[in-house]
Structure 1
Amino acid sequence: MKYIKTSLKALNGLLWLLLAVVAMVLWGCGSPSGKPGAGGIAISFDDHFIKEWYELRPLFHKYNAKATFFITCPDSLNAEEVSMLKQLEKEGHEIGFHGTVHAKSTELMAAGGPKGYIEAELETGLRHMNAAGFKPTSYAHPGGNHNDRVDSVLLAKGFTVLRDVAISRRKYKGFQFYAWPPRWMNAIYYPFDGAQQVDALMIDYDEVTGEEVAEAIQEAKENGTAVMVFGHEPLYSAPQNGKYGFNVSFLAAVLREAHKQRLKFYTMSELPKTR
């Protein structure tokens, strides 16, 4: 996950600011150059909000958009949900994998090694996915938690693209730690270089503005890259009772702008295949 992981209690506001500057320098700024004419957008959704995603189909149809749906806890898939996912797949969307138990991969790896990690987080869920008729080739890290060891196991298991999390702003106790313009976050732009480890910008409620996403879309168009964004549950008002997700009207604005700019909609697995 692309934000600084450290002890909040041990740092004062000034040190947070200094760390943010360092992160920005290390992260880099500005969109990379991609493939001329290939500018696009790759939208994905995480977790298990299948019925809610399915209800977005008219919106996808309106803008001829396609997306990738990363499924977690596939052992709980019922017949109706499987049918919905198959219809989404039939319409050009991709069904990816988001883990069996949605646990911290690094902790599973540390506790049980590659074998334990595979048994706990991969094999059981993939068995249920396969039984339902899905063979995912893209993987979204639960909580953005992973390391090189985890990635190497996932790639060895046949996943062709691994998606991480990028966040443009971070708050702590109401204090704005940083707000980094998405147009400068080079990690969220795919340059069509065959890379298998990628990052997507979170568009959940209050994470990014419509203007910022519009600028990111323009950046992708101008540089021939694909901007990658993702969210969780579709919401129709501000989140309540601990819910997290994106406002459907916000997603509509993103799709409308991408369509207006004539960007191509990519699924996650299509990105490393496009040269």
Structure 2
Amino acid sequence: MATRRCFLFCCFMLIFTACTHVKQQGGIVFSFDDDYIDEWHEFKNVFSEHGIKATFFISNPQSLDSLKVLKLKDLQNDNHEIACHGYNHLNCLDYSDSIDIYIKKEITLAINSLKNKGFNVVSFAYPYGESTSYIDSVLLSYFTFLRKATYNIHNTNIDAYDEIYVSSSSTRVCNAMGIDCNYAISLENLEKAIQRAVNNNEILVLYAHKINNSGEDYTISPEYLKKAFQLCNKYKIQSLRMKDISVFPF
């Protein structure tokens, strides 16, 4: 009897240890910039079919008509995040010496415009993707998360770019890799980036713009995006919004 109890106890401890050491499978943020709401909304069923939650960074919110606002709210109701991309899509580096003017012209107007339309935003993506540490420090008074951009100029394996990965829930400023067609990120390249996030339990942050088949700059094809989502499902990586970074179990 004692031997049997010892055996059962050992089995219990093995199972308990295994359960408490299950490794998280990393995370991925798909974000989309500007105001291509019709295209994003048209793709909403594809997001849902693959369990993808996106973050939509809205610029020029003052120009949104009532139908686009309704479509944004529909996306929000599907658990996507609505975030801020500025009032007039201004480059913050043009205001490095006059940050108060930038805040007044680009930030507070955008926040208030989105709020008046029913969106309380906590994340911001810099138009043109650049900033300074000082500007970051100022904008963190207005937002919880800030997103910059990284460009893959030399066709490098993008898993080599440490700055597009988040490895701590305390992170408030991160970069994202553009995956529009003009950045020429192959699906094989993207798969390697996803594998790194899974293996290291990191969050990979990506961004794109318009979803269509035109092949123009700053567009991403529906087929590429579907295959990217399928890769996420293949590796069981967790789909996250920007605002989920702080609660992800690293």
Structure 2 stretches of 5 or more lacking a match? 1-21
Per-residue CA deviations over 1:186-234 (Å, capped at 9, x if unaligned) read 1111113411110111001041111000111111111111111110111
Structure 1 or 2: larger helix share?
2
With the length of structure 1 as denominator, give the TM-score of the two structures: 0.79
Contact 1:194 1:273 in 2 (8 A): no
Greater relative contact order: 1 or 2 (C-alpha under 8 angstroms, separation 6 or more)?
1
1:85 and 2:59 are equivalent in the alignment: no
Equivalent residue number for residue 234 of structure 1: 211
Equivalent residue number for residue 179 of structure 1: 155
Quick one: which amino acid aligns to residue 147 of structure 2?
R
Equivalent residue number for residue 23 of structure 1: none
Of the candidates 89, 92, 106, which is equivalent to residue 121 of structure 1? 106
Q: Distance in 1 between matches of 2:124 and 2:45?
A: 26
Q: How does 1:198-209 map to 2 (within 5 A)?
A: 198-207=174-183, 208-209=185-186
Equivalent residue number for residue 255 of structure 1: 229
Of the candidates 240, 246, 250, which is equivalent to residue 266 of structure 1? 240
Q: Distance in 2 between matches of 1:90 and 1:192?
A: 28
SS at match of 1:103: coil
Bigger Rg, which one? 2
Moved over 6 A (4+): none
Per-residue CA deviations over 1:131-186 (Å, capped at 9, x if unaligned) read 001011000000012112211111012x1110011112x2xxxxxxx222111111
Query: How far has the Cα of 1:100 moved from its partner?
Result: 0.6
With the length of structure 2 as denominator, give the TM-score of the two structures: 0.87
Q: How does 1:145-184 map to 2 (within 5 A)?
A: 145-157=130-142, 159-168=143-152, 170=153, 178-184=154-160
Equivalent residue number for residue 220 of structure 1: 197
SS at match of 2:181: coil
Q: Distance in 2 between matches of 1:69 and 1:96?
A: 6
Structure 1 stretches of 5 or more lacking a match? 1-34, 171-177
Contact 2:212 2:219 in 1 (8 A): yes
SS at match of 2:118: coil
Q: Distance in 1 between matches of 2:237 and 2:109?
A: 37
Residue identity over aligned pairs, in percent, reads 29
Equivalent residue number for residue 17 of structure 2: none
Equivalent residue number for residue 74 of structure 1: 61
Q: How does 1:99-114 map to 2 (within 5 A)?
A: 99-110=86-97, 113-114=98-99
Quick one: which amino acid aligns to residue 141 of structure 1?
Y
Equivalent residue number for residue 47 of structure 1: 34
Q: Distance in 1 between matches of 2:164 and 2:218?
A: 21
Equivalent residue number for residue 29 of structure 1: none
Contact 2:31 2:207 in 1 (8 A): yes
Contact 1:109 1:116 in 2 (8 A): no
Q: Distance in 2 between matches of 1:198 and 1:36?
A: 23
Contact 1:194 1:274 in 2 (8 A): no
Question: How many pairs align?
Answer: 227
Contact 1:161 1:272 in 2 (8 A): no
Quick one: which amino acid aligns to residue 220 of structure 1?
A
Cα RMSD after superposing both structures: 1.4
Per-residue CA deviations over 1:63-115 (Å, capped at 9, x if unaligned) read 011100000000001111111111111111000100011111121242xx232
Equivalent residue number for residue 61 of structure 1: 48
Q: Distance in 2 between matches of 1:244 and 1:144?
A: 14
